[in-house]
A and B are shown apart, each in its own frame.
Chain A
Amino acid sequence: GAVVSQHPSWVICKSGTSVKIECRSLDFQATTMFWYRQFPKQSLMLMATSNEGSKATYEQGVEKDKFLINHASLTLSTLTVTSAHPEDSSFYICSARSGRIDSPLHFGNGTRLTVT
């Protein structure tokens, strides 16, 4: 089956630093990738949608300058949390699908970010 690899699985950083999270589709070309954020015991909230080679589309309320998304290739998207603060601590999950709009989404295993 389709595999999405997300790295790192967890990261602890100091307030004010930046953290990069990678999302890779290992056995298919991901024309579209999605980044989600999940707070404890809550559902997933979509942060942004990225299409390969173009700028990401951010959801309302998500700061594009704080959460930088790059989708430079068909197999890799990155999310960079810039100048992280404790309130950015959360579980971040990426997902990817191939070009067909009716194809299912495949998710990475998530990244637990803790900002101290």
Chain B
Amino acid sequence: KQEVTQIPAALSVPEGENLVLNCSFTDSAIYNLQWFRQDPGKGLTSLLLIQSSQREQTSGRLNASLDKSSGRSTLYIAASQPGDSATYLCAVRGGGFQKLVFGTGTRLLVSP
């Protein structure tokens, strides 16, 4: 059974810092991995999708890497802003299966 863990559970940083969020999964046979952002009381916004054959994806100040063999992914946020404050979730889709297994999330607070 796939299990997805995110560290840290919560993170508080001052504006402008670069930061890294970690995601680990127990079964490396994944189809893809997706990072999401969730604002309080809201749904999820897809940030980046990395296919199993890819090593990283970039979008603006966000960069996500994937090391499938070690069961890890990181989300790098450059020059953090207060508007980045949210919960960040990673989710993996196992090979041959449709459903995503979500991580426990990292609550990020960027203070001005």
Contacts and interface: CB of A to CB of B under 8 A. Distances in A.
A43 B89 contact: yes
Please classify how large the interface on chain B is, using the bins under 10, 10 to 19, 20 to 34, 35 or more. Answer: 20 to 34
B98 A49 contact: yes
Contacts of A101: 31, 98
B98 A43 contact: no
Interface string A86-116: 0000010101000001101111111010000
A91 to B, nearest CB: 8
Interface in B1-60: 31-32, 34, 36, 41-46, 49, 51
B31 A104 contact: no
B46 A105 contact: yes
B99 interface: yes
A105 B89 CA distance: 13
A44 interface: yes
A46 interface: yes
A102 B31 contact: yes
Nearest to A94: B43
B81 interface: no
30 contacts: A6-B43, A32-B98, A34-B100, A42-B104, A43-B102, A43-B103, A43-B104, A44-B44, A44-B89, A44-B91, A44-B102, A46-B101, A91-B41, A95-B44, A101-B98, A102-B32, A102-B51, A104-B34, A105-B34, A105-B46, A105-B91, A106-B46, A107-B36, A107-B44, A107-B45, A107-B46, A109-B42, A109-B43, A110-B41, A110-B42
